[in-house]
């Protein structure tokens, strides 16, 4: 419109000048000039309206300002909430979702999980879950179940088991790509050490060595008897009152006692000392007598039974000391063999002791 106004005004102006110069009528040029001026006026007015509308659009009102501020505040709060969600630790999330299990984990491992990294917390939890899965039990029961398995082994075995489990710990860490201290083996090693300490503190040997007369009041034979008995009891350790370890001639403790006995029977230094102190001819008898006392007290088995099983583990144990049918100790030595006073059964067995020293 504005451009058309300039064109018409220019035409009208030129025609007016020409008409005036030529003395012609100026009505026509005046019309076109007036039309051009009108078009220019309305064109400018329209541009001003557009410019004003554009300015209003680009300049925010008070309401818009408040709205923008509120929007920014909401966005900031949402951002803070998002950051808060992102900084929630693995343990906090696990504890909120599994409060009972989280409490059991803390009690089981004695670890403040809030001080652990997300990675360590997750690895420890996963290891506990694997162990619980193996025992098909809850977290609160898994240590008890594991210790029940460990009770099958006497004190003398625990050090070796700890050593072997240390090697297994390295392999487990490699297999699961986790830190060694977060493995199942690491947990079990800790429990084995706890058990070992308990057994050592309740060691029957520690309670025994305080008994009896002073060493300088004993004869050489009595001194040897005491020293040998101490060696036997030291091997039993804290397993003396645990039937799983001690009961029977085939028990782990009976096997350990046989190891000690044969070690002394083969010890030439001890034998020479016995000869020099006058009890050399009784050396083997002394060992048999003292070993028999211990096997009967702690294993409820005759020494010969322990010897038979130790040397022939795949053979049925038959001795003159106990009925092989009902287990009674009431045995009569008859001309036709041995007879049980309880069940009346009879059997044949060598009389006395055979240590099978030729095998050792």
pLDDT score of 304: 95
Blockwise average pLDDT, block size 10, the chain, 360 residues: 52 46 48 54 59 53 53 54 65 93 91 92 94 91 82 68 88 93 92 77 54 72 93 82 80 93 96 95 95 91 94 93 89 90 92 86
Structure tokens belonging to residue 38: 């009108």
Order the strands of the 346-347 sheet from edge to edge. 331-334, 337-340, 346-347
Domain boundary among 201, 217, 238: 201
Q: Does residue 167 sit within a domain?
A: yes
> Sign (positive/negative) of CA torsion 315, 321, 325, 326?
negative
What's the confidence (pLDDT) of residue 88? 86
Instruction: Quote the domain boundaries for residue 15.
Output: 1-48
Is the same domain home to 169 and 218?
no
What integer pLDDT is reported at residue 87 of this predicted model? 73
Measured in residues, the chain has a length of 360
Question: Is residue 229 assigned to a domain?
Answer: yes
Q: Are 196 and 223 in a shared domain?
A: no
Is 53 part of any domain?
no
Q: Please indicate, yes or no, whether residues 42 and 120 belong to a single structural domain of this protein.
A: no
**214 and 310 inside one domain:** yes
Q: Are residues 143 and 266 in the same domain?
A: no
Please check whether residue 176 lies inside any domain of the structure.
yes
Domain final residue, candidates 201, 222, 244: 201
Number of compact structural domains in the chain:
3
Q: What secondary structure, in 3-state letters, does the chain show?
A: CHHHHHHHHHHHHHHHHHHHHHCCCCHHHHHHHHHHHHHHHHHHHHHHHHHHHHHHHHCCCHHHHHHHHHHHHHHHHHHHHHHHHHHCCHHHHHHHHCHHHHHHHHHHHCCCHHHCCHHHHHHHHHHHHHHHHHHCCCHHHHHHHHHHHHCCCCHHHHHHHHHHHHHHHHHHHHHHCCCHHHCHHHHHHHHHHHHHHHHHHCCHHHHHCCCCCCHHHCCHHHHHHHHHHHHHHHHHHHHCCCHHHHCCCCCHHHHHHHHHHHHHHCCHHHHHHHHHCCCCCCHHHHHHHHHHHHHHHHHCCCHHHHHHHHHCCCCCCCCCCCCCCCCCCCEEEECCEEEECCCCCEECCCCCCCCCHHHC
Of 152, 178, 201, the one marking the end of a domain is 201
Q: Are residues 182 and 286 in the same domain?
A: no
The encoded tokens of residue 48 equal 């001003």
Same domain, 177 and 193: yes
Q: Is residue 348 part of a domain?
A: yes
Same domain, 156 and 288: no
pLDDT of residue 10: 53
Query: Is residue 84 included in any domain, yes or no?
Result: no
Question: How many CB atoms are located within 10 Å of the residue 344 CB?
Answer: 10
Same domain, 40 and 119: no
Q: Which residues contact 140 (CB under 8 A, 6 or more apart)?
A: 104, 107, 108
Whether residue 354 is contained in a domain is answered as yes
Together in a domain, 161 and 216? no
Verify that 31 and 131 share a domain, yes or no. Answer: no
Residues 264 and 343 in one domain: yes
Residue 247 has a pLDDT of 86
Could you tell me the pTM of the whole model?
A: 0.46
In a domain, 2, yes or no: yes
């Amino acid at each position: 419109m504005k451009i058309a106004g300039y064109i018409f005004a220019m035409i009208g102006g030129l025609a007016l000048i020409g008409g005036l110069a030529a003395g012609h009528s100026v009505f026509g040029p005046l019309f076109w000039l007036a039309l051009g001026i009108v078009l220019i006026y309305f064109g400018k007015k329209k541009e001003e309206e557009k410019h004003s509308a554009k300015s209003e659009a680009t300049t925010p009102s008070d309401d818009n300002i408040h709205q923008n501020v509120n929007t920014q505040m909401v966005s900031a709060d949402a951002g803070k909430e998002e950051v808060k969600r992102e900084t929630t630790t693995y343990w906090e999330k696990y504890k909120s979702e599994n409060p009972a299990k989280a409490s059991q984990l803390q009690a089981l491992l004695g670890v403040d999980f809030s001080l652990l990294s997300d990675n360590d917390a997750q690895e420890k939890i996963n290891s506990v879950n694997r162990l619980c899965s193996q025992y098909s039990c809850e977290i609160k029961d898994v240590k008890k179940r594991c210790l029940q398995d460990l009770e099958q082994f006497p004190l003398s075995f625990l050090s070796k088991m700890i050593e072997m489990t240390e090697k297994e710990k390295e392999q487990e860490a490699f297999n699961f790509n986790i830190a060694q201290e977060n493995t199942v083996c690491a947990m079990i090693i800790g429990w084995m050490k706890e058990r070992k300490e308990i057994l050592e503190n309740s060691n029957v040997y520690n309670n025994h060595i305080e008994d009896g007369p002073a060493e300088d009041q004993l004869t050489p034979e009595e001194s040897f008897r005491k020293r040998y008995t101490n060696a036997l009891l030291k091997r039993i350790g804290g397993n003396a009152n645990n039937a799983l370890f001690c009961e029977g001639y085939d028990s782990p403790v009976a096997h350990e006692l046989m190891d000690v006995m044969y070690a002394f029977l083969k010890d030439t230094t001890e034998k020479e000392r016995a000869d020099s102190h006058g009890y050399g001819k009784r050396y083997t008898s002394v060992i048999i007598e003292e070993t028999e006392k211990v096997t009967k007290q702690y294993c409820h088995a005759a020494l010969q039974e322990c010897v038979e099983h130790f040397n022939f583990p795949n053979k049925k144990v038959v001795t003159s000391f106990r009925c092989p049918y009902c287990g009674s100790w009431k045995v009569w030595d008859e001309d036709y063999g041995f007879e049980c006073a309880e069940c009346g059964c009879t059997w044949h067995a060598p009389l006395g002791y055979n240590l099978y020293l030729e095998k050792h």
